[in-house]
């Protein structure tokens, strides 16, 4: 950090490291992070826990530091959602783990896809979910198998490092970076540089909470940049050419906030340095007193964009960013990449829609065979829990599409509901969940397809299992937040949120909790009404 301090302290002690030389921990999380860097748990997993088993894991590693390597205990089966808030954490812990594999930029090689599929089949009861942050999550992982899983992942260049925890999480990137004909700029070199230089760097391994990054040079704004802690959004500068517009402070969950523009233009080469400046501000000035106020969005809300930019330039960069234009509104139309689309090199990219991101290991292996037969070696994951196969030669497209469709992955035939519905992990595996999500969303998609077979307008339906917002309920056309209704599974409804062209937070319908079994009826009613009342070209969020 530079010598001159510009930033003012918070009105009370918020645990900001920049103003507390002693860095006295103000809560249990800050204490365990100060006691030992989360990254150091790897040695104990390899040398002790994997050999002596689940019971040997120290509690602060089990429920704390193991996240730094992508590991969460999963929920003990059979505990209903009503007990989530009343049981002690150890009563919810199963002896199995969720393991999150980070896929920066959503990019996977054919070999990497195969290895994840094999690990899923061999060690994870064939579970695998594509998340809305372009990761792949496996379940039923035993601590005994973790070192072997790491060995296999790392042999092909994959990692679980800082996939969870108070760290810089996976870096989102456009799924069609480097191939799309209408791309403003390819952000891939910046994503790679940040991942290679700073993921696992102890300088950034103790942040106040998680830190999310998005970098996309697509005019379609396809990485949900508005809800990331820092985002670099492709823009054409009238003087300097293509580069990025800098956004900070977006995040959902409780107290959702969309990111704000700093009005600053960042060249591709400057992105890693500017990124370290923003994450440095978060580390040093972020609020650590309460977990509920420890995201960057609270600091940005208190400081405002102007002061944040002054601190970034004056204390961290030591140079001034150029002013830059706002990105133009994205083109209308879908931006989920599903379907067959031309690349700029004459090949095609083929986007497929697994239902709510469910891609069991045996399916991943079949997809890998299809990708190989199509002559491609590159796969990308999307922030809508979908996948894209790049570099498909024109004469290989039809066979690939046919193969994907035969495996239940809609390309040309995916309904608007299959394309637009997402669900978080929910009560099947998540210890915070109150209700079921994945299976219910899958059922919902099937119901809507049979009840509304001709409805083809873009619509997003996102299901969460609790008030956190892992499936971005506040930015969906129809957001469904798990909440018990009369002791049974139900959902609170948020309507009219959006990203990109319709960027904004949905309205909460207070007092309404739709019981789970009435969900198809409710969504059908809302969708029919929209279809009857909408004007030509009107989107759900504009209705
Ligand atoms: Fe778990 Fe809640 Fe996140 Fe769903 S939204 S994965 S239930 S924490």
Ligand 1 atom 2, closest CA = 466
Model pLDDT, residue 399: 98
**CA 470 to ligand 1 center in whole angstroms:** 6
Q: Which of 210, 423, 432, 438 to mutate to test the pocket of ligand 1 (most atoms within 8 A of CB)?
A: 432
- Give me the half-sphere count of Cα atoms (radius 13 Å) on the Cβ side of residue 272: 13
Model pLDDT, residue 327: 94
| Three-class DSSP category at 362 | helix
With a pLDDT cut of 70, the percent of the chain lying above it is 99
With a pLDDT cut of 90, the percent of the chain lying above it is 88
ipTM > 0.95 for the complex: yes
pLDDT tens-place string over residues 302-321: 999 999 999 999 999 999 99
Length of the chain: 543
Model pLDDT, residue 3: 54
Complete DSSP assignment for 237-291: ETTTEEEEEEEE--B-SSS-B--EEEEEEE-TTTHHHHHHHHHHHHHHHS--S-G
Model pLDDT, residue 484: 86
* 470 pocket-lining for ligand 1 (C-beta < 6 Å): yes
Looking at the predicted structure, is the pLDDT value of residue 408 above 60?
A: yes
pLDDT tens-place string over residues 106-155: 999 999 999 999 999 999 999 999 999 999 999 999 999 999 999 999 99
* 427 pocket-lining for ligand 1 (C-beta < 6 Å): no
Model pLDDT, residue 253: 83
- How much is the average pLDDT of 271-277? 98
| Three-class DSSP category at 461 | strand
Which region holds residue 389: left if phi is over 0, alpha if psi is between -120 and 50, else beta?
Answer: beta
**CA 252 to ligand 1 center in whole angstroms:** 12
- Give me the half-sphere count of Cα atoms (radius 13 Å) on the Cβ side of residue 339: 11
The pTM for the full model equals: 0.96
């Amino acid at each position: 950090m530079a010598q001159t301090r510009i930033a003012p302290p918070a009105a009370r002690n918020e645990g900001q490291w920049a103003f507390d030389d002693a860095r006295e921990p103000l809560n249990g999380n800050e204490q365990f992070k100060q006691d030992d860097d989360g990254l150091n748990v790897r040695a104990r997993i390899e040398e002790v826990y994997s050999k002596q088993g689940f019971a040997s894991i120290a509690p602060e590693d089990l429920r704390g530091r193991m996240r730094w390597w992508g590991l969460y205990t999963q929920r003990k089966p059979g505990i209903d959602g009503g007990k989530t808030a009343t049981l002690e954490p150890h009563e919810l812990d199963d002896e199995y783990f969720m393991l999150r594999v980070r896929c920066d930029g959503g990019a996977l090689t054919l070999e990497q896809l195969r290895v994840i599929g094999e690990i899923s089949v061999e060690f994870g009861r064939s579970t695998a979910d594509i998340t809305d942050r372009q990761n792949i999550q496996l379940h039923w992982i035993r601590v005994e198998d973790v070192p072997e899983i790491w060995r296999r992942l790392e042999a092909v260049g994959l990692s679980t490092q800082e996939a969870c925890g108070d760290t810089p999480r996976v870096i989102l990137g456009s799924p069609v970076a480097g191939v799309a004909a209408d791309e403003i700029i390819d952000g891939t070199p910046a994503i790679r540089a940040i991942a290679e230089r700073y993921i696992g760097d102890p300088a950034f391994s103790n942040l106040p909470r998680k830190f999310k990054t998005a970098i996309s040079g697509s005019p379609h704004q396809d990485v949900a940049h508005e809800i990331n802690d820092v985002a670099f959004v492709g823009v054409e500068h009238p003087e300097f050419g293509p580069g990025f517009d800098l956004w900070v402070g977006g995040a959902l969950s409780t107290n959702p906030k969309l990111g704000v523009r700093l009005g600053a233009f960042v060249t591709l080469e400057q992105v890693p340095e500017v990124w370290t400046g923003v994450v440095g501000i978060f580390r040093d000035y972020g609020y650590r007193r309460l977990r509920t106020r420890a995201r960057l969005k609270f600091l940005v809300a208190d400081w405002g964009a102007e002061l944040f930019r002054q601190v970034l330039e004056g204390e961290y960069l030591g140079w001034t960013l150029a002013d830059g234009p706002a990105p133009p509104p994205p083109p209308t139309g879908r931006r989920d990449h599903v379907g067959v689309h031309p690349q700029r090199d004459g090949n095609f990219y083929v986007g497929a829609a697994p239902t709510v991101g469910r891609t069991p290991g045996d399916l991943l292996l079949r997809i890998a065979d299809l990708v190989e037969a199509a002559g491609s070696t590159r796969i990308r994951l999307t922030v809508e829990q979908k996948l894209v196969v790049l570099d498909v030669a024109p004469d290989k497209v039809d066979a690939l599409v046919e193969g994907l469709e035969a495996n239940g992955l809609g390309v040309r035939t995916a309904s608007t509901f299959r394309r637009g519905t997402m669900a978080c992990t929910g009560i099947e595996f998540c210890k915070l969940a109150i209700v079921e999500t994945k299976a219910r969303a899958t059922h919902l998609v099937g119901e809507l397809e049979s009840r509304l077979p001709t409805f083809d307008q873009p619509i997003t339906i996102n299901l969460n299992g609790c008030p956190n917002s892992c499936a971005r309920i506040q930015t969906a056309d129809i957001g469904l937040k798990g909440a018990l209704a009369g002791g049974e599974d139900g959902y609170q409804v948020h309507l009219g949120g959006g990203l990109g062209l319709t960027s904004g937070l949905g309205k909460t319908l207070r007092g309404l909790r739709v019981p789970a079994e009435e969900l198809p009826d409710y969504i059908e009613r809302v969708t029919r009404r929209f279809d009857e009342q909408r004007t030509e070209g009107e989107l759900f969020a504009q209705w």
